[in-house]
């Protein structure tokens, strides 16, 4: 599976972006970056990036996460990742993304952290 992206609002001021599959270089990853950039431009300031169904992430995907988190921070907002222990979380830890973007085990915990 390539990358599947779903967007919804889980609270009046919290957007939920769920990604499933592989976050690698390519069009799908660009769609995610554009969607997140659009949310920032439209005033979103609290985003839960749900990576609980992500199977793989490469350096391009890590770059997108870091880029969007930086843009959101500049806009006065915050991105929090929902992701259980496993290969993808291990990769994020090695890349030290978890030092920049908070990571929680569940969507509920991530939503509480961003609220």
Question: In this structure, what CATH number is given to the domain that contains residue 87?
Answer: 3.30.750.24
Give the CA distances from residue 3 to residues 6, 12, 20, 26, in Å, rounded to whole numbers and listed in that order.
Answer: 10, 27, 6, 10
**The CA-based dihedral angle spanning residues 72, 63, 22, 76, taken in that order and rounded to the nearest 10 degrees:** -10
- 79 has pLDDT over 90: yes
Q: Could you give the CA distance from residue 115 to residue 97 in angstroms, rounded to a whole number?
A: 20
Residue 26: its pLDDT value, please?
83
Nearest in space to 81 (alpha carbons), one of 94, 59, 57, 65: 65
- 1 has pLDDT over 80: no
Global pTM reads: 0.94
- Looking at per-residue confidence, does 109 or 30 come out higher? 109
The mean per-residue pLDDT over the stretch 61-72 comes to 91
Sequence length of the chain is 115
Domain that holds residue 108: 3-114
- The total number of structural domains in the chain stands at 1
Residue 80: its pLDDT value, please?
97
Burial per residue of 54-67, b for 16 or more beta-carbon CB atoms within 10 angstroms, e otherwise: beebeeebbebbbe
């Amino acid at each position: 599976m390539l990358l599947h992206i779903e967007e919804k609002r889980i609270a009046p001021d919290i957007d939920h972006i769920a990604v499933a599959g592989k976050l690698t270089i390519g069009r799908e990853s660009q769609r995610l970056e554009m969607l997140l950039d659009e949310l920032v431009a439209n005033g979103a300031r609290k985003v839960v990036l749900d990576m609980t169904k992500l199977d793989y992430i490469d350096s391009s995907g890590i770059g997108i996460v870091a880029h969007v988190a930086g843009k959101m921070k500049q806009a006065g907002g915050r991105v929090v990742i929902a992701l259980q222990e496993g290969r993808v979380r291990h990769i994020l830890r090695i890349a030290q993304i978890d030092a920049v973007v908070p990571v929680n085990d569940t969507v509920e915990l991530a939503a509480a952290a961003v609220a």
